[in-house]
A = this chain, B = another copy of it.
Amino acid sequence: MGVIRKTKSVEALLHEFNTSDEAISAKQLIEQLDSKFNKTTIYRVLDKLEEDGVLHSFLGKEGLKWYAKCNGCSASKHKDVHPHFQCLKCGRVDCLPFSMAIPEIPNRKVEVSQVLIQGLCEKCCV
């Protein structure tokens, strides 16, 4: 399937991701768009956008789900191994612009990988 209809919620969410390169958590989107859309809608649209390969998702600290625009990654072969960076001070998350090599492991089949690096971001480092 995928995103078929161009509805207001789809456009609003895409707009959020187009105005910034940072990752956005589902929680944050729900808070931000609370007056306009129901949280169920937001979760479902995010699911769809991920299925379509428009966004990819990952878990930040405390198990919150984050979404970011897919740049290199296709919907079919979704083997993103670029790390995500979460600032421990301001909470912001972004995708780091390089790949990390995930090693093959004897007798196991690697399918997906997630690297979460935590620390202080540029702004909070000063």
Contacts and interface: CB of A to CB of B under 8 A. Distances in A.
Interface of A: 59, 61, 63-65, 85, 88, 96, 98, 100, 102-103, 105, 107-122, 125
A84 to B, nearest CB: 10
**Complex copy number for this chain:** 2
Contact of A120 (B88, B109, B113, B125): B109
24 contacts: A59-B59, A59-B61, A59-B63, A63-B63, A63-B64, A85-B108, A88-B111, A98-B103, A100-B100, A102-B115, A105-B117, A107-B125, A108-B120, A108-B122, A110-B117, A110-B119, A111-B118, A111-B119, A112-B117, A113-B116, A113-B117, A113-B118, A114-B115, A114-B116
Nearest to A61: B59
A107 B121 CA distance: 7
Given A96-B105, A105-B96, A113 B111 contact: no
Given A63-B63, A110-B119, A112-B117, 18 more contacts: A63-B64, A85-B105, A85-B108, A96-B105, A100-B100, A107-B125, A109-B125, A111-B119, A112-B118, A113-B116, A113-B118, A114-B115, A114-B116, A114-B117, A114-B118, A115-B115, A115-B116, A116-B116
